[in-house]
């Protein structure tokens, strides 16, 4: 139930933040969370992969070590998400809260299509069929060139072979996100993430305000 100290909404809202590594989705989602909290909204901040389910923990422990095959990763992301939707996302939406979610099944579509060679269309379909996940009110795709994303996470320059491989992967992940935002049925909002942080936050916040405007009770 909504506590009296919060602004009340007539339903829950789900806003998702996506983008390649280095796009800034975590910092943007944090700022949005602070803004909306200070405006009196009841915010639930979540992320995938989770740190909570056994599958999310397995991804976080074993994936950076290169121990998982791309297909094993795909299956684990879906199992983690099924748990997350049931235990965290749906309950918050049912209590008319605003869920700010850092990555969702669109990340699986973008990243695992590149790693497994399965099309993003098939991966999104598999998520939708196997989990019946709630569709977001908006999916913010924070978009920037792969070179810029990589240099934000590694510091300037792309010198080692490993970095070239990572660059190539991020070029393809970005392309998958952009294709998805044009062709998939979800409600996407592509935001230029090269802009200064305050402008990116301002743009996202004004889209969210538009969505919420007729639902404050």
Residues in the chain: 217
Which residue in 184, 170, 42, 155 sits closest to 100, CA to CA?
Answer: 42
Of 58, 50, 182, the C-alpha closest to 120 is 182
Residue 111 or 140: the one with the smaller Cβ distance to ligand TYD is 111
Q: Is 46 helix (H, G, I), strand (E, B) or coil?
A: strand
* Residue whose CB is nearest to ligand TYD in the complex, by number: 111
Q: Does 55 bind ligand TYD (CB under 6 A)?
A: no
Residue 12 or 49: the one with the smaller Cβ distance to ligand TYD is 49
Q: Are 29 and 151 in contact (CB under 8 A)?
A: no
In the structure encoding, which two tokens stand for residue 120, read together? 């993003």
What is the per-residue binding string for ligand TYD in 132-171, x denoting contact by CB under 6 A?
A: ----------------------------------------
Q: What is the total count of residues that contact ligand TYD (CB under 6 A)?
A: 11
Cα–Cα dist 86/187, whole Å: 22
Select from 31-39, 84-92, 100-108, 205-213 the region that touches ligand TYD (CB under 6 A): 100-108
Is 13 a binder of ligand TYD (CB under 6 A)?
A: no
H or E, element range at 127: helix 120-131
Pick 125 or 209: Cβ nearer ligand TYD: 125
Over the window 17 to 46, marking each residue x when it contacts ligand TYD by CB under 6 A and - when it does not, the resulting string is ----x----x--------------------
* Cα separation of the two ends of the chain: 14
- Interaction site with ligand TYD (CB under 6 A): 21, 26, 48-49, 77, 102-103, 107-108, 111-112
């Amino acid at each position: 139930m909504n506590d009296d100290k919060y602004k009340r909404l007539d339903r829950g809202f789900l806003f998702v933040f996506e983008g390649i590594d280095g796009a800034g989705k975590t910092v943007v989602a944090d700022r949005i969370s602070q803004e909306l909290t200070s405006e009196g909204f009841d915010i639930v901040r979540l992320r995938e992969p989770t740190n909570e389910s056994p599958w999310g923990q397995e991804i976080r422990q074993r994936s950076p070590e290169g121990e998982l095959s791309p297909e094993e990763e795909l299956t684990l992301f879906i199992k983690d998400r099924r748990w997350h939707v049931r235990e965290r996302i749906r309950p918050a939406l049912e209590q008319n809260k605003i869920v700010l979610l850092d990555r969702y099944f669109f990340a699986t579509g973008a990243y695992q299509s590149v790693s497994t060679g399965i099309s993003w269309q098939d991966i999104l379909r598999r998520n939708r069929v196997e989990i019946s996940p709630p569709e977001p009110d908006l999916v913010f795709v924070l978009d920037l060139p792969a070179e810029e994303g990589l240099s934000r996470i590694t510091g300037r320059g792309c010198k080692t072979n490993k970095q070239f491989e990572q660059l190539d992967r991020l070029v393809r992940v970005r392309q998958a996100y952009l294709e998805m935002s044009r062709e998939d049925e979800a409600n996407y909002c592509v935001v230029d993430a090269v802009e200064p942080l305050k402008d990116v936050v301002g743009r996202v916040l004004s889209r969210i305000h538009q969505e919420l405007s007729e639902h404050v009770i």
